[in-house]
Structure 1
Amino acid sequence: MLPTDLLSYRHNGEEIIPKRLSIDDRNLKVATEIITCYQDAVGNTQGLLERQLSDLEGDTPDYRMKRGLAYILKSSFSTFEVVSPLEPPMLRAKVFAVAAKSSPSRESTQITLGKVADELSRELEKEILPSQVRDGLYADLNENKILTNFDAPTPESLLHRYNLSQVQGVFYKASQLIINAHRNVPGQYKLLFRYLKLFQLMSYIEGDADHGFTITIDGPTSLFHPSTRYGLAIAKLIPALLHVTKWSLASTLQTRDFYTKARKTGRFTLNSECGLVTHYSPGKPYDSMLEESFANKWKSAKTEWVLEREVDLIPIPGSVMIPDFRLVHPDGRTFLLEIVGYWRPEYLQKKFYQVRRSERNDLILAISERLNLDKAGVKLNDVPAKIVWFKDKLLPKSVLAVLD
C-alpha cells in the first residue's frame, strides 16, 4: 500500500475519487522503465537505486505517479539486506579498536582494513577481503543496504497494484464502512468473513446466507484513539473483498481541507464492477500456524472422526460465527471446533459473546492456558460449550478425549 504523501485523489462535492491509471501504452512504458531500473539494480545499494530513480523521475509533472510505482516495487517485490562479514556495529568496534593504535592516514587505513580482514578470515574460517570490511562498516544504513532479490511483476500487474493501492489509501481516514454482500454462493460469504476475522475488524453483521449480508465496520477515525494499524487493517480488507462475486460498499471519511485544515466529511463508494484487480490468493488455508499445526497432526491421528475446515456459518445477532473446524463421525455425530489462542481483550470478549449467543450444544472451545481470561472479563461458567485447554500446541488426543 502507498503512504499518505503518495496518494492522489480529487473531490466532487463530498465524493472522493482516487486517481487510477489507465492500462495504456504510455503508462505501461513508464511501469516498464521503473521495473527495468530495479532489475538492473540487483546486487547494488539502495542509495544507487534511489539516485537512478530520481534521474528517471526528472522534473516531469507525473513524479508522484512514478514515486508511487517505485514504492510498490520496493515494499512488495524487493528484498534489501545488510551485506557485511560481521554485524556492522561489531565490525565498527573492531576496526576502530585497531585504528586507534595508529595515526590517521590513507596508508594506515589500508593497513587497518587488512588487519581486520585477516583476523575475521581466521575467526570465520573463510576469506574476508579488506574491501568487504570497508563496505560492511556502515552496511546497516538504508542507503547502503543491497538489493539482493527482485521478483519483477509485469508492467500491467504493477499498474493494477497501483490503482488498488490508491483506493486502499482512501480508508486510512474512514469513520465507517457499510458493505452489502449480495446473494452469493456460501463459499463467497465464508471467504469474506474469514478475512474480517483475520484482520480483527470491529463489525456488525445482519442478514443470512439466502438473502445476503450487510456488514457495518467501524473505521479508524471512529476509535477513541485513532489507530494507524487499524486503518491499514481496513485497507487490507479491500483486496479480499474483490474475491467476492457481488457486493457494494459505501464509506464515510473524515478528511481535512487542503487550505484551511478544517475537518470535513467525505464519501466514497465502490462495487464489484469497479475493475480493480486483487493480488490476494483466494484465501489462506489457515488463519494461524496453530490451526495449521492441529490440522496436520489430525491427519496422523488414529480416529474415525473426520476433520473438515470452516464449513458452517452460525448466524447470531449482529454477527456471524465461523468455527475453525467441523468434526464428523461416520455414525452421524458432528461437533464444531473453535480454537481460541488470540490474546487481545476485545477479541476474547467478542468471541465468548458469540459463543453464548450462538446457543449451540455441539460446540467445542480449545482455549490456550496462556490467555488471561479474568483480565479480559471473560467468565466460563455460563459458556454453552465443551472446553479443551492447551499450552503451546493443540493436540488431537485432547479433542478426542472430549468427543469420546
Structure 2
Amino acid sequence: MLPSDLLMHRFSGEELVPKRLKLDQSNLAIAQDLITLFQEAKGITKGELNRQLLELEGEETDYRIKRGLAHLLNSGFSTFETISPLEPPMLRERIFALSAQVAPSVQATQITLDHLADLLTQELGHEVLTDQIRSGLYADLPDNQILTEFEVPTSEALLHRYNLSQVQGVFYRASHLILNAHRNDPGQYKLLFRYVKLFQLMTYIEGDADHGFTLTVDGPTSLFKPSTRYGLAIAKLLPALLHVSKWSLTAELQVNDSYSGKTRTGRFALESECGLVSHYPPGKTYDSMLEAGFVERWQKAKTEWQLEREVDLIPIPGSVMIPDFRLVHPDGRTFLLEIVGYWRPEYLKKKFSQVRQAGRDDLILAISERLNLEKAGVNFNDTSARIVWFKDQLLPKAVLEVLE
C-alpha cells in the first residue's frame, strides 16, 4: 500500500475520488522504466537505488506518480538484505576493540582491517576480505542494505497495484463503512468472512445466504482515538473483497482539508464492477490438512452420502457460521459437518457459542480429543449438535455411524 503523502484524490461534492492511472502507452512506459531500473539495481545498496530513482523523477510534474510506483516496487516486489561477514553490531565491536589498541592512522586502520580479516577467515572457515569488513560495518543501516531479489511484475500489474493502493488509501480515514455482499457462491462468503476475522475488524453481520449479507464495519476514526493500524486493516480487506463476485460498499470519511487545515466529511462508494484487480491469491480449497485428508478418505468410502464443500451459511445474531461440509443422501436427508481441530481457547468458546445460538439439530461437530474443552470453559453437552470424536484423523466411518 501507499503512505499517506503519496495518496492522490479530489472531491466531487462530498464524494472522494481517488487517483487512478489509465493503462495507456504513456503510463505503461513509466511503469516499465521503473521496473527496468529495479531489475538492473540487483546487487547495489538501497541508498544508491534511491539516488537513481530521484534522477529518473527529474523535474517533471508526475514525480508523485513515479514515487508511488517506486514505493510499491520497493515494498512489494523487492528483497533487501544486510550483507556482512558478521552481524554489524558484533563486527563493529570487534573492529573498535582492535583499533583501540593502536594509535589512529591510515596505516593502522589497514593493519587492523587485515588482522580482523585473518581472524574471521579462521573462525568462519571461509575467506573474509577487508572490503567485506568495510562494507559490513554499517550494513544494517537501511540505505546500506543490498537489493538481492526482485520479483519482476509486468507494467500492467504494477499499474493495477497502484490503482488498488490509491483506493485502499481512502479507508485510512473511514469512520465506518457498510458492505453489501449480494447473493454469491457460499465459498466466496467464507473467504470474505475469513479475511474480516484475520484483520480483526469490528464487524456486525446481518443477512443470509439466499439474499446476501450486510457487514457494518467500524472505521479507525470511529474509535476513541483514530488508529492508523486499524485503517490499514480495513484497507487490506479490499483485495480480498475483489474475489467476491457481487458486492457494493459505502464509506463515510474524515478527511483533512489541505487548504483550510480543517477536517471535512467525505463519502466514498465502490462496487464489484469497479475494474480494480486483486493481487491476493484466491482462497485455499481447504482450511487445513485435516479437512483435505478427510475429503480424500471420504472419496474412497463406500457410501451413498455425498460430501459437498461449504454450501450452507447459518446466520446468527451479529455474525455468521459456515460449516465446513454438507452431507447429502439420495433420499433427501442432509446434515452439516463442522470440524473442530486444533484451536485456541478463545476460538473454542466462540465456536461453541455459535453452535448454541444456531440451535440446529442437523449439525454434526467433529471434535479432536486433543482439545481440552473443560480448560477452555466449553460445555459440549450444552448443544443440540451431534458429536463425533477423533484423534489424529477424522475417519468417514465415525461420521457415517452418526448419520445412520
Given the two structures, how large is their TM-score scaled by the length of structure 1?
Answer: 0.85
What residue is the counterpart of 1:294 in the other structure? Answer: 290
What residue is the counterpart of 1:318 in the other structure? Answer: 318
Paired letter, 2:338 = L
Q: Is residue 295–residue 307 contact of structure 1 (8 Å, CA) maintained in 2?
A: no
**What whole-Å deviation, never above 9, does each CA across 1:156-212 have from its counterpart, x for those lacking one?**
110110000000010111122112222333333333233323333222222222222
What residue is the counterpart of 1:18 in the other structure? Answer: 18
In 1: Cα distance, 2:292 partner to 2:102 partner: 61
* Greater Cα shift, 178-187 or 294-303: 294-303
Superposed, 1:343-362 pairs within 5 Å as: 351-361=351-361, 362=363
* 1:115–1:4 Cα change, 3 Å: same
**What whole-Å deviation, never above 9, does each CA across 1:216-273 have from its counterpart, x for those lacking one?**
2222222234333322221111111112222211111122222443332210001122
1:205 and 2:202 matched: no
* 1:127–1:401 Cα change, 3 Å: farther
Paired letter, 2:187 = G
Q: How many residue pairs were aligned?
A: 392
What residue is the counterpart of 1:86 in the other structure? Answer: 86
Q: Is residue 297–residue 395 contact of structure 1 (8 Å, CA) maintained in 2?
A: no
Paired letter, 1:36 = T
What residue is the counterpart of 2:343 in the other structure? Answer: 341
3-state DSSP of counterpart to 2:132: helix
* 1:19–1:132 Cα change, 3 Å: same
In 1: Cα distance, 2:393 partner to 2:83 partner: 44
In 2: Cα distance, 1:85 partner to 1:180 partner: 55
Structure 1 position 351, deviation (Å): 4.4
In 1: Cα distance, 2:397 partner to 2:96 partner: 62
Q: How large is the Cα RMSD of the aligned pairs?
A: 3.3
In 2: Cα distance, 1:311 partner to 1:155 partner: 38
3-state DSSP of counterpart to 1:245: coil
In 2: Cα distance, 1:300 partner to 1:269 partner: 43
Paired letter, 1:396 = Q
Paired letter, 1:256 = N
In 1: Cα distance, 2:78 partner to 2:61 partner: 26
Paired letter, 1:65 = I
Q: Is residue 79–residue 147 contact of structure 2 (8 Å, CA) maintained in 1?
A: yes
3-state DSSP of counterpart to 2:288: helix
Superposed, 1:122-271 pairs within 5 Å as: 122-271=122-271
In 2: Cα distance, 1:93 partner to 1:398 partner: 59
In 1: Cα distance, 2:78 partner to 2:355 partner: 43
Q: Is residue 19–residue 163 contact of structure 1 (8 Å, CA) maintained in 2?
A: yes
* Greater Cα shift, 208-217 or 49-58: 208-217
* Greater Cα shift, 160-169 or 208-217: 208-217
* 1:5–1:389 Cα change, 3 Å: farther
* 1:348–1:216 Cα change, 3 Å: farther
3-state DSSP of counterpart to 1:396: coil
Q: Is residue 373–residue 379 contact of structure 2 (8 Å, CA) maintained in 1?
A: no
Q: Is residue 114–residue 130 contact of structure 2 (8 Å, CA) maintained in 1?
A: yes
The one of 388, 392, 395 equivalent to 1:395 is: 392
Paired letter, 2:393 = P
In 2: Cα distance, 1:18 partner to 1:193 partner: 26
Paired letter, 1:246 = K
In 2: Cα distance, 1:338 partner to 1:225 partner: 37
Q: Could you tell me the percent identity over the aligned residues?
A: 60
Structure 1 position 67, deviation (Å): 0.9
Q: Is residue 174–residue 252 contact of structure 1 (8 Å, CA) maintained in 2?
A: yes
* 1:318–1:397 Cα change, 3 Å: closer
* 1:334–1:16 Cα change, 3 Å: closer
Q: Is residue 294–residue 396 contact of structure 2 (8 Å, CA) maintained in 1?
A: no
* Greater Cα shift, 125-134 or 326-335: 326-335
Q: Is residue 16–residue 268 contact of structure 1 (8 Å, CA) maintained in 2?
A: yes
In 1: Cα distance, 2:360 partner to 2:51 partner: 62
Structure 1 position 401, deviation (Å): 7.9
Structure 1 position 83, deviation (Å): 0.7
In 1: Cα distance, 2:327 partner to 2:22 partner: 49
Q: Is residue 208–residue 314 contact of structure 2 (8 Å, CA) maintained in 1?
A: no
In 1: Cα distance, 2:262 partner to 2:239 partner: 31
1:77 and 2:73 matched: no
* 1:258–1:323 Cα change, 3 Å: same
What residue is the counterpart of 1:279 in the other structure? Answer: 279
In 2: Cα distance, 1:309 partner to 1:210 partner: 17
Given the two structures, how large is their TM-score scaled by the length of structure 2?
Answer: 0.85
Q: Is residue 187–residue 310 contact of structure 2 (8 Å, CA) maintained in 1?
A: no
Structure 1 position 48, deviation (Å): 0.4
**What whole-Å deviation, never above 9, does each CA across 1:113-155 have from its counterpart, x for those lacking one?**
1111111111111111111111111111000100000011011
